[in-house]
Chains A and B, each alone.
Chain A
C-alpha cells in the first residue's frame, strides 16, 4: 500500500522517523549500558568517563552463579594451573570459588532464585489469564445481575497501590503458612493481575461476533465446546497480549517478593540487589544477573510478537 503523499506529508514522515530513532535510543541506552557492564572486567565497571572499548570477559556471569570469597593472598601456581578456565576467571579477580568439603562448587543461589521467578511468573500468568478469560466470557455473553457493578468492583481492586496491603497480607500469610512459599506468591500475583486480565479480555471477547458461537450451538455443539473451538482461537490475540502484560508484572514484582519471601521461594528481583552487600559492590555481577533476568521476558514477548501486533490494532482494523 502506498498512497500519494504531499511534500508536507513527506516532511512530517521524516520528522516522525527521526523521533522514533530518538525514542529508540533513549529506550535502548540503559540496556546497552547494563549489557556492556556485564561483560566488563570489574575495574572498568565504574570508571569516569565510562569505558567504551574493552576486552569483554564472561567472568561476571561465572561469578553470578558461584559462591565466592575474598582471597587472602596470591594463589599458588599449581592450584591456578589445575583450576578449570572459569575458576581461573574468578581467581583473576582476586576471589576464590567456595567449595564444600567434598570439593563440590557451591552455587550462589541466583540459579534457584531465577527458577523461582520462572515458576511463580509462569504459573500465576496461566492462572490470571485463564480465569480472566473465562470470567470475561461470562460477563460478555450472559446476563449477570449487577454486571456493571461487578466489573467496577473488579477494577477497583487495582485502584490502591498494592504495597498498602503488604503488611496485612504478610500477617495473614504468616498465620496460614503461606509465607516464603511459591504458592503464596502465585496467589498474590494472580489476584493482582486478575482484574486487569478480566477487563482486557472482556474487550477482546466483546469484539468476537456472537454469531460464530450461535452457529456452533445450532450445529450441535454445547456452549463449552463452542467456547473452546470457536471463541478461544479467535481470542488468541487478546490472550497473548494479556499474558505478556501479566507475565511482565509478575516477573518484575519487587515489593511483595521482598516482604513475603526470604530463602525458599525468593524470586530474582529481591535477590539481585541483595548481592550488593557490604563493602565495594561488584557492579559487573549485578549487571550480569540483570541481563540474564531480562532474557525470559524478551523471549516470551518475541514468541508472541505476531499476536501482539495484531492485538494492538484490534478493534480498529481487523482483517
Chain B
C-alpha cells in the first residue's frame, strides 16, 4: 500500500492561483478527507496526484517515491469522479473490464472475469453487469465507477465528490459502504468533498483546504473541538459554531453590547484584547439564573434535539437542546455556557489563541 506526500505544490491557471504551496501528508491506509468550498483547489489537488495535471512547482511522492516523471497510467492510482466517469458505449461489465485490459497490465481472461465478479459482488451490482451504463440510475452509476476503481486493486484511491450528485438517502448508504470498503481493502483513500457531514463522518483525518492552502489537518474530533481559526470553526458542524465579537477581561469576557461578563477558561489572551468568541450550539445551556438574557426567535424540532435560534441584543445564536425542552417563540430565557468549551480567536487574524 502507499502513503502520499505533497510538498510545496503550486498551480496557476492563467492568473488564477489554484494551489499555493500545498503541503499534504497522507499515511498508508488512511481515509483522508479533503474538505473545502468550491474553488478551493480540491479537484486540482487530485488531478495533480493522479498525474492529469502538471504542478507549476513542488513534488508529489507516492510511497516515498517522487512520481513527477510518471504519467497517469504508471502511477497506479484510481480516480472516481463526480460524473462522466463511465464509458457510455460499454456495458457495466465492459466498464469494469476496461482498466484490466490495458496493455500495461496483461491479465488473463480468467483473472479479469474473477476480479470483475468479485468487485460486482462487493458493490452488489452483479445483476447490472450486462446493462448499458446509459440506463443506470445515479446511484448505480457511482457504484460502477467505484467498481471500476477497485478491480485494479490500486495503491491509492482518489475520489472527487463521488456522492454529491446523489440524493440524501443514497448518499448516506454509500457513505457507509465506502467506509466498509476502505476497511476491507486497507488501501489509502483520498476523498474530496465540500460537505462537512461527509468529511466528519468518513475521515480518519480531515484536511481543511482554503484558497489552495491547507488550513488545518486533524482527526474529525480535533478539527471540531479545536479549530485552528474561525474559518475552520465555521466549516464544520451544523448548526454552525456561534461566533461573537467580545473583549477580554480577567478570566472572563464581555460580549460586545452585553452588560455582563461571562467566564472563559483563563490562561489565554490578555485583558482588553479584541476577540471573537466561539461556542458550539450544544455547549450553550438554558437554565434559570444563567447570566445572559435571550429571546427565542425560532424553534426547529429535529425529533431527538431542538435547534433554537436565540436573539441576544444584536447577535443571533444557535443552541442545540434536548427535545424535551419546552420553549415558546418570543419567550425570554436565560442562557449560559460551559466555560471550558469557549474558544477564543483573535478578532483581527481569526487565529485560535490556543494555538499561540
Contact = CB atoms under 8 A, between A and B. Distances in A.
Q: Do most interface residues of chain B lie in helix, strand or loop, or is the interface mixed?
A: loop
A234 B89 CA distance: 8
Contact of A209 (B71, B79, B84, B148): B84
A149 interface: no
Contacts of A218: 50-52, 72-73, 75, 77-79
Interface in B320-346: none
Contact of A214 (B52, B77, B88, B89): B52
Nearest to A318: B88
Given A221-B73, A319-B134, A216 B98 contact: yes
Contacts of B148: 215, 219
B81 interface: yes
A214 to B, nearest CB: 5
B16 to A, nearest CB: 15
A220 B105 contact: yes
B71 A217 contact: yes
A217 B99 contact: no
A221 B72 CA distance: 9
Contacts of A209: 84
B88 A211 contact: no
B73 A212 contact: no
A215 B85 contact: yes
B89 A215 contact: no
A220 B84 contact: no
A230 B52 contact: no
Given A215-B81, A319-B134, A220 B87 contact: no
Contact of A233 (B73, B89, B134): B89
Contact of A220 (B50, B81, B85, B99): B99
A215 B134 contact: no
Nearest to B52: A214
Contact of A219 (B84, B88, B98): B98
Interface string A194-231: 00000000000000010110111111111001000010
B102 interface: yes
A209 B85 CA distance: 9
Interface string A28-51: 000000000000000000000000
A319 B83 CA distance: 15
A217 B52 contact: yes
A230 B87 contact: yes
A121 B148 CA distance: 43
A239 to B, nearest CB: 14
Contacts of A211: 81, 83-85
Contacts of A214: 52, 72, 79
B168 interface: no
Interface in B92-118: 98-99, 102-105
Given A211-B81, A215-B81, A319-B134, A221 B102 contact: yes
Interface string A261-275: 000000000000000
Q: Specify which of A217, A218, A221, A233 lies most central, judged by the most chain B CB atoms within 10 Å of its CB.
A: A218
A222 B89 contact: no
Nearest to B154: A218
A219 B101 CA distance: 9
A222 B72 CA distance: 9
Contacts of A212: 84-85, 87-88
Contacts of A221: 73, 102-103
A143 to B, nearest CB: 11
Contacts of B83: 211
A221 B104 CA distance: 8
A214 B78 CA distance: 11
A217 B87 contact: no
6 interchain residue pairs of minimum CB distance? A220-B102, A219-B99, A211-B84, A217-B72, A220-B73, A209-B84
24 contacts: A211-B81, A211-B83, A211-B84, A211-B85, A212-B87, A212-B88, A214-B79, A215-B84, A215-B148, A216-B87, A217-B52, A217-B71, A217-B72, A217-B73, A218-B51, A218-B72, A220-B102, A220-B152, A221-B102, A222-B73, A230-B87, A233-B89, A234-B89, A319-B134
Given A217-B73, A218-B52, 5 more contacts: A218-B50, A218-B72, A220-B103, A225-B102, A319-B134
